[in-house]
């Protein structure tokens, strides 16, 4: 197995080496200060901390740029930061320049990723829904009332499941199952502070930058998959024609277009969305490409200009954030934030933190949300969040 091991070096190992990416996945041990991140372009495994991004009042891109400059002065040749940023990116970021970094090609390009994931041992789970399903439905109904009154255009409401296991969790095995279920997506396990781990498999790229080339891939508008092939195809086709979901998606795309435009020399936004599938869901997706006007603008600066998009918050953003604070009975923390990496040259990949949980030794807090528009029905949004939970619950071995 060929894997590049460096303090930090430019990307560019041979993606054709069989077993490199799945090997890094298999070496994740959920040790303190260990992080794993896999995308359609690369696989990263880090260990230890060279320097952390400070938590202070300065804008996040400034703090990260200063941290990377410090690492470079310390002799780190090509430093990068890895980790997660909260839904409220001004309040919290768990980012660090790692002490050791190994990287290779993408999981999806490694044939060994098709091998079976570790089997799930049976465990006894205590499960508590926050809020309770009926309370979540009431929250959706309240949001619909506000939407129909013209107070806002869209709001995303989330709920959580708090799970406690009878024995210590096997986070490496959970990560293996998440990655092998959707190897073409974005899989991550990064420190979440206070000894906790943020672990998940997101389908949604917020933004990536390579040189002056920028890519965003917003998802909004969803329907659960079906085990029946004919029904699965029917649901996908109906999603492409659903006025409710197309409107929800257009709100997100328009917001991203408006946020990116001031930074870009060219900006290409397709007129209609396409479909993206995961093991559990169909999503409407639009691939947005752009060319930066100023090559000094980093991926993280662009990502913070976009975040939170209407895909995880709503529109208009200030009114949607206020509605979320009034309706949701919990702090989102790192959920619906962003997770990924950024380097000292300004390149990076930042993914929307979805299909995830915060974990400690025996507990998981799993998150899922649904976009609410004026045409939404509480029972449909409850069903959508339940379907989204399954990505993580199946990986954790929680029975249906």
Catalytic residues: 154, 204
> Distance between CA atoms of 88 and 387, rounded to whole angstroms?
26
**DSSP state at residue 301:** H
> Distance between CA atoms of 262 and 214, rounded to whole angstroms?
13
Residues in the chain: 400
**DSSP state at residue 114:** G
Answer for the pair 371, 221: CB distance below 8 angstroms, yes or no.
yes
Phi/psi at 298 (nearest 5 deg)?
Answer: -85, 165
> Distance between CA atoms of 84 and 190, rounded to whole angstroms?
7
Answer for the pair 253, 315: CB distance below 8 angstroms, yes or no.
no
3-class secondary structure, 235:
helix
Answer for the pair 206, 338: CB distance below 8 angstroms, yes or no.
yes
Answer for the pair 283, 277: CB distance below 8 angstroms, yes or no.
yes
Answer for the pair 253, 288: CB distance below 8 angstroms, yes or no.
yes
**DSSP state at residue 13:** -
Lookup: tokens for 55: 């938590």
**DSSP state at residue 118:** P
Cα 51 from chain centroid (whole Å): 24
Cα 384-196-28 angle, rounded to 5 deg: 90
> Distance between CA atoms of 48 and 68, rounded to whole angstroms?
16
């Amino acid at each position: 197995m060929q894997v590049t091991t460096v303090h930090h070096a430019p990307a560019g190992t041979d993606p054709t080496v069989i077993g490199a990416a799945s090997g890094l996945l298999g070496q994740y041990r959920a040790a303190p200060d260990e992080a794993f991140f896999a995308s359609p372009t690369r696989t990263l495994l880090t260990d230890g901390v060279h320097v952390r991004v400070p938590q202070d009042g300065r804008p996040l891109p400034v703090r990260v740029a200063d941290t990377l400059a410090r690492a470079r002065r310390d002799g780190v040749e090509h430093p990068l930061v890895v980790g997660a940023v909260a839904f409220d990116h001004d309040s919290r970021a768990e980012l660090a320049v790692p002490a050791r970094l190994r990287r290779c090609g993408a999981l999806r390009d490694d044939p060994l990723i098709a091998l079976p994931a570790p089997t799930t041992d049976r465990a006894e789970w205590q499960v508590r829904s926050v809020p309770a399903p009926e309370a979540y439905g009431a929250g959706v109904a309240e949001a619909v009332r506000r939407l129909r009154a013209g107070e806002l255009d869209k709001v995303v409401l989330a709920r959580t499941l708090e799970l406690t296991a009878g024995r210590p969790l096997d986070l490496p095995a959970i990560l293996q199952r998440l990655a092998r279920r959707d190897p073409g997506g974005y899989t991550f396990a990064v420190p979440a502070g206070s000894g906790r781990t943020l672990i998940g498999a997101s389908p949604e790229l917020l933004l990536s930058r390579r040189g002056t080339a920028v890519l965003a891939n917003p998802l909004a508008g969803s329907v659960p998959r079906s085990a029946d092939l004919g029904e699965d195809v029917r649901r996908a086709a109906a999603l492409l024609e659903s006025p409710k979901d197309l409107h929800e998606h257009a709100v997100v795309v328009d917001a991203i277009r408006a946020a990116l435009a001031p930074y870009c020399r060219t900006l290409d936004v397709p007129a209609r969305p396409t479909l993206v599938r995961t093991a559990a869901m169909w999503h409407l997706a639009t691939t947005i490409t752009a060319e930066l006007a100023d090559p000094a603008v980093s991926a993280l600066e662009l990502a913070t200009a976009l975040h939170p998009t209407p895909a995880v918050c709503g529109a208009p953003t200030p009114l949607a954030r206020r509605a979320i604070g009034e309706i949701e009975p919990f702090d989102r923390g790192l959920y619906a934030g962003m997770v990924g990496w950024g380097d000292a040259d300004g390149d990076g990949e930042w993914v929307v933190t979805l299909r995830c949980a915060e974990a400690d030794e025996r507990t998981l807090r799993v998150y899922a949300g649904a976009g609410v528009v004026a045409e939404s029905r509480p029972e449909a949004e409850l069903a959508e969040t339940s379907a989204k939970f399954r990505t993580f619950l199946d990986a954790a071995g929680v029975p249906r």
